[in-house]
Structure 1
Amino acid sequence: MADSRLTRRTFLRKSLFAAGALPMLLGAGGLYGVFGERYWIQIQKIKLAPGRLPAAFHGMRVVQFSDTHLGKYYSVNRLAHMAELVQRQKPDLICFTGDLFDSQYGRVNPGIIPILSRLKAEFGKFAVLGNHDMRLGADSVRDVLEKADFTVLVNGNRPVSKGGERFRVAGVDEMIYGQPDLKKALIGARQEEFVLLLCHEPDFADTAMKFSVDLQLSGHSHGGQIRIPGVGSLFTPELGQKYSIGLYSFEEKGFHVYTNRGIGTTLFPIRLHCRPEITVFEWGEVP
């Protein structure tokens, strides 16, 4: 009888502890997600050996950032810090894949032009617009990027040349509010040329892999923003569900798509098990 009473008391103590501990753990996780992880930028390094990339570009460092969502929950000072981190990676080429401003809690702010102008890369800075940029006004956001020396690609491309060889950086219009036209974006590109494609929404990859495209860089999904170990993301947005995070390879097609987790947040100012990301692609032979 005494052992039975002891067992019941032990069970009750454990149950009461669990009942009190769970809310505390959830609360601590929420505080960490709001005040900690969403500012803890990860430098994600990816080594790729794209088959058609000219040898002159082996060793090139392509740096991607995405989805800054400047506004109430991501400040100009935070953007300045992020720009410093991008520049520390010694980029040869910089790509921004959309949603510069947050359409719900932000506005187009030309005051960030000097910050973005500090970003330097030998082979240029390229960008496409995201759905939040489109909602705020595509022309206004494009003007900010162009005044900061970004080439904004809307169903177009630009050649990048070195040592008599070249590849193309192409970009398509935003999928939700725009009219993406990859055939138009590739005008002038030779069939054998390596093509780096920028598209805000990653699920455009299903279209891109049908064309002569080697690597697509995207954002939009934020990697799910809140991820549960063993489960994955709780929510991903339209057109960011199939290729929601990281690298996807289609070797038989010679095609890769990479979805950057983004810098800022949307809807809720929280990240959990999904740190903001700057991606550094190192092109060349993979050991």
Structure 2
Amino acid sequence: MDKERISRRSFLKHSLFAFGSFGVLLGMSGAYGIFGERNWVQTTTVKLAFRRYPPSFAGVRIVQFSDTHIGKYYGLNHLSKLVELLQRQSPDILCFTGDLFDSNQGEVTEDVIPILSQLHAPLGKFAVLGNHDMRLGADRIVAILERAGFTVLVNASRSVQRAEGNIQVVGVDEMFYGNPDLPLALKGIRDEEFVLLLAHEPDFADTAWEYPVDLQLSGHSHGGQIRIPFYGSVFTPDLGQKYSIGLYSFVGSDFHVYTNRGIGTTLYPIRFNCRPEITVFALEPRLT
């Protein structure tokens, strides 16, 4: 009986220790996700070759950022540091794929204009709107981005010229609250021209791959924001579930979609195993 009591006490002692250790580990993980990883921006370089990519654009650096969600948990000081980091990438073309402000815990402020105006890209700064931008008022966000030097593409395209070649940067309207019209956006573009598509929601790729589009850049999903090892994302939003993170290719097609993990957070100010991301695309012409 004494041995049995000792055994029970030992089991209880070890169980309490185990639960306590788990609680400490959980607390440390939460602190890391809130105060560490959430502010630890990763720069990812993606190298791809395309048949329609013009030789004169070889070496051009296309830099993407997305989903800043400026608000309670991502302020102007964070944005200033991000701008410095983006400029260190020496972008030739700069692409923002939506959700400038957070509609849940933020409000629109023109104070971002002088900060975003410090971004320089000799071949252009382009943007599309996200679902949070639409909730806060599309016209207000478009005005802020344009005053900061961005060309906002809503079912529209812009030709970018370099030497004897050119590419087309195309942007579609947001899917939840807007009316994305890719045929309208592609109107007048020749079949032989390289098309870089900006679409906030990555699952728009199911539409885009049927058109003469080469590369789609998206955001929206935050890569899941919290990713459990060997499991994946705890949650991904609607229209960001099929192509939620990173690079995807399509069988029998040159078309690719890349989903950037975004910069800020929404709902909860935490990232785990899913660092905020800047993406640098180094594209080349494919000869065969």
- TM-score bin (small chain): over 0.9
Task: State the Cα distance separating 1:16 from its structure 2 match.
Answer: 2.6
Alignment of 1:267-282 (within 5 A): 267-282=267-282
TM-score, normalised by the number of residues in structure 1? 0.95
Deviation string, structure 1 residues 253-281 (Cα, Å, up to 9, x no partner): 10000000000000111111111001111
Match of 1:80 in 2: 80
1:133 partner SS: helix
| Contact 2:133 2:141 survives alignment (8 Å) | yes
Which residue identity is paired with 2:228?
Answer: I
Q: Does 1:57 align with 2:52?
A: no
Which residue identity is paired with 1:269?
Answer: P
1:44 partner SS: strand
Q: Does 1:20 align with 2:20?
A: yes
| Contact 2:172 2:181 survives alignment (8 Å) | yes
Match of 1:112 in 2: 112
CA distance in 2, matches of 1:281, 1:236: 24
Q: Which runs of 5+ in 2 are unaligned?
A: none
Identity of aligned residues (%): 65
Task: State the Cα distance separating 1:6 from its structure 2 match.
Answer: 8.2
User: Residue 193 and residue 3 in structure 1: after superposition, are their counterparts in 2 closer, same or farther (change >3 A)?
Assistant: farther
Q: Which deviates more from structure 2 when the two are superposed, residues 50-59 or residues 122-131?
A: 50-59
Match of 1:133 in 2: 133
Deviation string, structure 1 residues 175-215 (Cα, Å, up to 9, x no partner): 00000000000011101111000000000000000000000
Q: Which deviates more from structure 2 when the two are superposed, residues 8-17 or residues 49-58?
A: 8-17
CA distance in 2, matches of 1:84, 1:254: 34
Task: State the Cα distance separating 1:15 from its structure 2 match.
Answer: 2.5
Which residue identity is paired with 1:127?
Answer: A
CA distance in 2, matches of 1:164, 1:203: 34
Aligned-residue Cα RMSD (Å) equals 1.7
CA distance in 2, matches of 1:19, 1:71: 36
Match of 2:180 in 1: 180
Match of 1:210 in 2: 210
Task: State the Cα distance separating 1:5 from its structure 2 match.
Answer: 8.4
| Contact 2:70 2:106 survives alignment (8 Å) | yes
Match of 1:30 in 2: 30
Match of 1:236 in 2: 236
Alignment of 1:251-262 (within 5 A): 251-262=251-262
Match of 2:68 in 1: 68
CA distance in 2, matches of 1:60, 1:9: 68
Deviation string, structure 1 residues 8-64 (Cα, Å, up to 9, x no partner): 776554433211111111111111111111111111111111221011111111100
| Contact 2:51 2:285 survives alignment (8 Å) | no
Which residue identity is paired with 1:26?
Answer: L
Equivalent residue pairs, number? 286
CA distance in 1, matches of 2:26, 2:253: 44
Deviation string, structure 1 residues 226-279 (Cα, Å, up to 9, x no partner): 000000000000100000000001252100000000000001111111110011
Deviation string, structure 1 residues 54-110 (Cα, Å, up to 9, x no partner): 111111111000000001110001000001000000011000000000111111111
CA distance in 2, matches of 1:57, 1:71: 37
CA distance in 2, matches of 1:243, 1:13: 46
Match of 1:246 in 2: 246
CA distance in 2, matches of 1:18, 1:285: 56
Which residue identity is paired with 2:253?
Answer: K
Q: Which runs of 5+ in 1 are unaligned?
A: none
1:49 partner SS: strand
2:62 partner SS: strand
CA distance in 1, matches of 2:103, 2:125: 24
1:274 partner SS: coil
Alignment of 1:1-16 (within 5 A): 11-16=11-16
Deviation string, structure 1 residues 122-180 (Cα, Å, up to 9, x no partner): 11000000000000000000000000110000000000111111110000000000000
CA distance in 1, matches of 2:62, 2:197: 13
Which residue identity is paired with 1:60?
Answer: V
Match of 1:102 in 2: 102
CA distance in 1, matches of 2:7, 2:256: 57
